[in-house]
Amino acid sequence: MLDIKKIRNDFPILSREVNNKPLIYFDNAATSQKPISVINSLTEFYSKYNSNVHRGVHTLSMESTDLFEEARNRVAKFINSKNSESIIWTRNSTEGINLVSNSWGRKNIQPGDEILVTAMEHHSNLVPWQILADINKAKLVILPINNDGTLNLDEIDTFINSKTKIVSAVHMSNSLGTINPIQELCSKAHKVGAKFMLDGAQSVPHIPTDVADIDCDFLVFSGHKMLGPTGIGVLYVKPEILEEMDPFLTGGEMVLEVSYEKAKWNELPMKFEAGTPNIADAIALGEAIVYLENIGMQNIRNHEIELTEYALSKFKSLDKLTLFGPLDPLIRGGILSFHSEDIHPHDIGTFLDHEGIAIRTGHHCTMPLIRSLNIPATSRASFYIYNTKDEIDYFINTLGNAIRYFTDVK
Ligand code: C6P
């Protein structure tokens, strides 16, 4: 059991009011709130250590370089990467996927090859592959889903075949909450000699992640969804693949030697980190990881299973709502997307906001998925470590009021 009261005290924003009501923050899939230790880390860096990294011989630069690399080591340990050279700082998950599709993809995808993604991908794990398929004359193949929001694996051995060169799949869907059987997808990809990339934007903040165990070739995630600041993300790449990859962005820091004619790339991981990196935010992400580790990732997962189970049972009391995604909390995360035929999601979102509840409404950057459900958008509540059953009670009650309010008007 988590000490939620203690945890909540660590998040200053949770004590504010919105529209004269205590804030209930259920928009964690979009971005999480930040504990005071992360906020303090940013202030401390700029107050005491601010200087560029890997460039200076002066004390400040050496200190900031140490803190920056310490944060990288923390990330490596957090996802059980054997070495920290496999950890490349990016701005977010989106940049990590673009790095792989542009660097590994352009070099390795041949005309006629197949790239497999699932029907529930975020635009970030779809559009870069559409562009790569177009440029390299490859075929983008979409793995379909079942009515319950799980992947349809009936013909998986046809979908992952000898033409498949990469399978890139989301671990936890940001629109359905579904947790995908990534181990199975990864081993099937490897069996046909394809690479496996995991979009961990929604899973790494909520589920213990072990890249050695999963055996994925690439993993991306975003700091801002796991208590860290915006503007910092991570791309993990298996060392042997990283060695062969060409840089994506070029310029300062990623070179060892430059003449007017050519350049020699820097060592890993700097080869992939052109320009001055996001130093303070990387260090603060390290603090976020310390915070998560102190609570324990399995404890976080257990707490969210409990909240999800509770919310799913409470949803049954609401008429006129369709809830998307699987109903078993063990194969879904704390993300609940729902829709009412009679009420536009933006109306629900605005009604809830008046009562202090923050949810997200829209297509959640999964437009093809939402369209395939024949709806314009969904309303989405998403939980994290600081959320409580009392908040869910208030949310369900307010949602009931919203449904009555809008359907009575009709
Ligand atoms: N989803 C949401 O509200 P960035 O924006 O690069 O940090 O993360 C992109 C991304 C990639 N994959 C998945 C599964 C995601 O959920 C996201 C971000 C947010 O659902 C913002 S659109």
Contacting residues for 246 by C-beta, under 8 A, at least 6 apart: 103, 107
H-only helix segments in 145-204 = 156-159, 182-191
Q: In percent, how much of the chain has pLDDT > 70?
A: 100
For 70-89, what is each residue's pLDDT tens digit? 999 999 999 999 999 999 99
Give the model's pLDDT for residue 319.
87
Q: Is the pLDDT reported for residue 258 higher than 90? A: yes
User: Are 46 and 133 in the same domain?
Assistant: yes
Residue ending a domain, choose from 268, 293, 318? 293
Nearest Cα residue to atom 3 of ligand 1: 30
Q: Is 385 in the pocket of ligand 1 (CB under 6 A)?
A: no
Closest among 118, 124, 251 to 189, alpha carbons compared: 118
For 275-291, what is each residue's pLDDT tens digit? 999 999 999 999 999 99
- Residue 1 pLDDT class (50, 70, 90 cuts): confident
Q: How far apart are CA 219 and CA 201, in angstroms?
A: 9
Q: Is the pLDDT reported for residue 196 higher than 90? A: yes
User: Are 151 and 251 in the same domain?
Assistant: yes
- Residue 155 pLDDT class (50, 70, 90 cuts): very high
Domain count, the chain: 2
Average predicted confidence (pLDDT) for the chain: 97
User: Are 187 and 257 in the same domain?
Assistant: yes
Q: In percent, how much of the chain has pLDDT > 90?
A: 98
Q: How far apart are CA 92 and CA 101, in angstroms?
A: 15
Residue ending a domain, choose from 270, 293, 316? 293
User: Are 191 and 165 in the same domain?
Assistant: yes
H-only helix segments in 155-235 = 156-159, 182-191, 211-214
Q: How far apart are CA 65 and CA 75, in angstroms?
A: 15
Structure tokens that stand for 349 in this block: 């979102």
Give the model's pLDDT for residue 63.
97
Find the helix or strand (DSSP H, E) in which 258 lies: strand 255-258
User: Are 46 and 173 in the same domain?
Assistant: yes
CB 4 within 8 A of CB 386: yes
Closest among 233, 236, 273 to 92, alpha carbons compared: 233
* pTM greater than 0.85 (yes/no): yes
Give the model's pLDDT for residue 11.
98
User: Are 47 and 73 in the same domain?
Assistant: yes
Residue ending a domain, choose from 240, 263, 293? 293
Range(s) of the domain holding residue 352: 4-30+297-409
User: Are 387 and 270 in the same domain?
Assistant: no
> What distance in angstroms lies between residue 30's CA and the mean position of ligand 1's atoms?
7
User: What average pLDDT does range 191-214 have in this prediction?
Assistant: 98
Closest among 314, 317, 335, 339 to 326, alpha carbons compared: 335
Q: Is 180 in the pocket of ligand 1 (CB under 6 A)?
A: no
Structure tokens that stand for 355 in this block: 């009562």
Give the model's pLDDT for residue 49.
98
Positions annotated as catalytic residues are 365
Give the model's pLDDT for residue 195.
98
For 232-256, the DSSP string reads: -EEEEE-HHHHHHPPPSS-SSSSEE
By the 10 Å C-beta count (0-12 exposed, 13-18 middle, 19+ buried), 15 is classed as: exposed
Q: Where are the beta strands (DSSP E) in 135-212?
A: 139-143, 164-170, 195-199
For 346-381, what is each residue's pLDDT tens digit? 999 999 999 999 999 999 999 999 999 999 999 999
Q: How far apart are CA 139 and CA 132, in angstroms?
A: 9
Q: How far apart are CA 155 and CA 143, in angstroms?
A: 9
φ, ψ of residue 271 in degrees (nearest 5) = -50, -25
CATH of the domain at 272: 3.40.640.10
Give the model's pLDDT for residue 409.
56
User: Are 288 and 302 in the same domain?
Assistant: no
Q: Where are the beta strands (DSSP E) in 1-60?
A: 17-18, 21-22, 24-25
Between the alpha carbon of residue 371 and those of residues 145, 349, 363, the distances in Å are 13, 20, 9
User: Are 286 and 309 in the same domain?
Assistant: no
CB 115 within 8 A of CB 129: yes
For 301-320, what is each residue's pLDDT tens digit? 999 999 999 999 999 999 88
Q: Is 32 in the pocket of ligand 1 (CB under 6 A)?
A: no
User: Are 287 and 163 in the same domain?
Assistant: yes
Q: Given phi > 0 = left and psi -120 to 50 = alpha, else beta, which region is 80? A: left
User: Are 309 and 191 in the same domain?
Assistant: no
- Cα of 25 vs its chain's centroid, Å: 18
Give the model's pLDDT for residue 408.
82
User: What average pLDDT does range 99-123 have in this prediction?
Assistant: 98
User: What average pLDDT does range 332-345 have in this prediction?
Assistant: 96
Atom of ligand 1 lying closest to residue 172 CA: 14
Q: Is 222 in the pocket of ligand 1 (CB under 6 A)?
A: yes
Nearest Cα residue to atom 17 of ligand 1: 201
CATH of the domain at 328: 3.90.1150.10
Partnered with residue 104 across adjacent β-strands are none
Find the helix or strand (DSSP H, E) in which 405 lies: helix 389-409
Q: Is the pLDDT reported for residue 391 higher than 80? A: yes
User: Are 237 and 169 in the same domain?
Assistant: yes
Q: Is 79 in the pocket of ligand 1 (CB under 6 A)?
A: no
Contacting residues for 260 by C-beta, under 8 A, at least 6 apart: none
Contacting residues for 231 by C-beta, under 8 A, at least 6 apart: 91, 92, 223, 224, 278, 281
